Structure 1
Amino acid sequence: MAGQPDLGRADLVAMLAQLTDRPTDLPERIGSMELAWLVHLVEQRYDRQLDLTDDQLARVRTVDDALAVFQTALTTAADG
């Protein structure tokens, strides 16, 4: 996929709901296990290895943080 990825906040919330077996109105904060799950699913969905740095991973504390990091990583991977 070239250009901007079609990954949205609703996609991440749905992915988290699968892991936690909770409804999609889950808390905004995500933990390390949830982050690992999201990285795995995003890599599968886009058939790419995300080369996230420790700094990028450390910035992810909320769903919106994860979305920003993933969109940047996917766009960078598509451009590279």
Structure 2
Amino acid sequence: MDGQPDLGRADLLTMLAELTTKPAAEVPDRIGSMELAWLVHLVEQRYDRQLDLTDDELAGIRTVDDALAVFRASLTTPADG
């Protein structure tokens, strides 16, 4: 993958909409542990990569924007192997 991943806020809202069965426009900005686990799973599938997130990084994710920042940083880190 070159440069920044093509992951955006709208992508995360769409993923959360699948979980909540609400339209993406109605998905709350706050993320709970279940929503976070869902997002990590879907982002890993989409990019065929294991996100190597620390406990501190995970604990710091409380909103969609938090998740976007952490996921983008993780995806731009070279994969092992």
State the TM bucket, normalised to the shorter chain: over 0.9
Normalising by structure 2, what TM-score?
0.92
Q: Deviations over 1:11-68 (max 9, x none)?
A: 0000000011011121110100000000000000000000000010011000000000
Could you tell me the TM-score, scaled by structure 1's length? 0.93
**Hey, what does 1:71 align to over in structure 2?**
72
Letter in 1 for 2:49: R
> Which residue of structure 2 aligns with residue 37 of structure 1?
38
C-alpha distance in structure 1 between counterparts of 2:42 and 2:62, whole Å:
18
Alignment of 1:15-34 (within 5 A): 15-25=15-25, 26-34=27-35
Gaps in structure 2 of 5+ consecutive residues: none
- Name the amino acid aligned to 1:77: P
Q: Percent identity?
A: 78
Report the aligned-residue RMSD: 1.6
Q: 2:66, 2:78 → 1: CA distance?
A: 18
Higher relative contact order structure (alpha carbons within 8 Å, sequence separation ≥ 6) = 1
Alpha-carbon distance in structure 1 between the residues aligned to 2:74 and 2:2: 13
| Partner residue, 2:9 | 9
| Gapped regions of structure 1 (runs ≥ 5) | none
